[in-house]
Amino acid sequence: MRHPLDESCQALLTLERVVPERPGAVLVERRDGITWFLLDNPRAHNALTVTMMRQLAEAVRDLAEASPGIVAVASAHGSTFCAGGHLGQVREALVDPQAARLMSESMQTVLDALLDLPHLSVAVLEGAAIGGGVELASACDLRVGTAEAVVHAAQVRLGVTCGWGGAARLVRHLGRRQALRLLTRSEPLDAVAAREIGMLDAIASGDRMALVHAAVGNALHHPAASVGAAKEQIVDAEHDRGEAAEIFLSVWGGADHRAALQK
């Protein structure tokens, strides 16, 4: 059976074949109970090439079939989180309206799917999130930043607006007023200002594991299935699917539940 993200993966692969190749990759690593999506394009401030978009789509699709857990999106090098889409490729190829539509619709599907996964997700901002990087951060449940983190929704300054569905996700996270302010003023926010509007859930220091812990707290230590079920119920409520009881029953009487009752 085809996964809903298969179409986006194929669309991005088609686009990848017609644009000039650029360096960069999305690395997937699993350690300490966390699946890491690591953005690896340091020369372009982790701007996403079409190849990286396709790799991200495949990673999200694969994670949708995995057991619930925690996923963290971060820079592979601890520098800029993400500078959005690769402007070189935009200038070279994505000026074609059909190509732009293909990229936009595919990335919106991918990032919406990331946010709706039955996995607790965290964006780790050790530097700046710019333009589409803010949209990528909005595709995670939680966002944690170092004191050096910057959030800059630069789209309107560049004469465009959100291309990856970020506006709707920012309204979900921040509310209409703060999302409107963030997107229309196009001003860089430091970590403190970003936390004040709700764009960052925590400001912390230390290695990436410490940053994730600052965002998710004890969720790291609770049974992954029940954390995933709680996340799934929240997504169910947001989309009014009416599946909360079925999600509850999926963990009721399970091994983790029985073990907790015996303590």
CATH no. for residue 58? 3.90.226.10
Establish if 111 belongs to a structural domain.
yes
Asked if the structure places residue 21 within a domain, the reply is: yes
Whether 71 and 120 have beta carbons less than 8 Å apart is answered as yes
Whole domain around residue 245: which residue ranges?
A: 222-263
Q: Judge if 135 and 243 occupy the same domain.
A: no
Q: What is the mean pLDDT of residues 233-259?
A: 91
- Whether residue 123 is contained in a domain is answered as yes
The pLDDT score that the predictor gives to residue 33 is 85
- Tell me, yes or no, whether 1 lies in a domain: no
pLDDT of residue 259: 87
By CB neighbour count within 10 A (0-12 exposed, 13-18 middle, 19+ buried), where does 105 fall?
Answer: middle
How far apart are the C-alpha atoms of 73 and 198, rounded to whole Å? 18
20 near 90, Cβ under 8 Å?
no
Residues 89 and 23 in one domain: yes
Among candidate residues 85, 74, 97, 78, the one with its CA nearest the CA of residue 22: 85
pLDDT at 87 over 90: no
Percent of the chain topping pLDDT 70 = 97
> Are residues 244 and 170 located together in one domain of the fold?
no
Largest CA distance in the chain: 62
Are 243 and 202 members of one domain? no
On whether both 242 and 211 belong to a single domain, the answer is: no
- Provide the β-strand partners of residue 130: 152
Give residue-wise pLDDT tens across range 201-232. Answer: 999 999 999 999 999 999 999 999 999 999 99
Can you tell me the mean pLDDT for 190-196? 98
Residue 43 has pLDDT above 60, yes or no: yes
Together in a domain, 215 and 235: no
Kindly tell me if the per-residue pLDDT of 1 is higher than 60.
no
Residue 36 confidence (pLDDT): 97
Mean pLDDT (the chain) is 93
68 & 179 share domain? yes
Same domain membership, residue 233 and residue 203: no
d(CA 8, CA 152): 27
- Do 182 and 255 lie in one domain? The reply is no
Residues 31, 57 within the same domain: yes
Mean pLDDT of 97-101: 83
Same domain, 198 and 240: no
Residue range 119-147: mean pLDDT, rounded:
97
Q: How many domains does the chain have?
A: 2
Predicted local confidence at residue 94, as pLDDT: 61
Looking at the structure, tell me whether residues 202 and 133 fall in a common domain: yes
Percent of the chain with pLDDT over 90: 76
Assigned domain for 149 exists? yes
Q: Which segment of 92-96, 141-145, 196-200 scores lowest on mean pLDDT?
A: 92-96
Q: Residue 189 pLDDT > 70, yes or no?
A: yes
Helix 166-174, helix 97-116: angle, nearest 10: 30
Model confidence at 97, pLDDT cuts 50, 70, 90, reads: confident
Q: Which of 187, 203, 220 is the last residue of a domain?
A: 220
Residue 148 has pLDDT above 60, yes or no: yes
pLDDT of residue 92: 63
Residue with the bigger pLDDT between 37 and 102: it is 37
pLDDT at 90 over 70: no
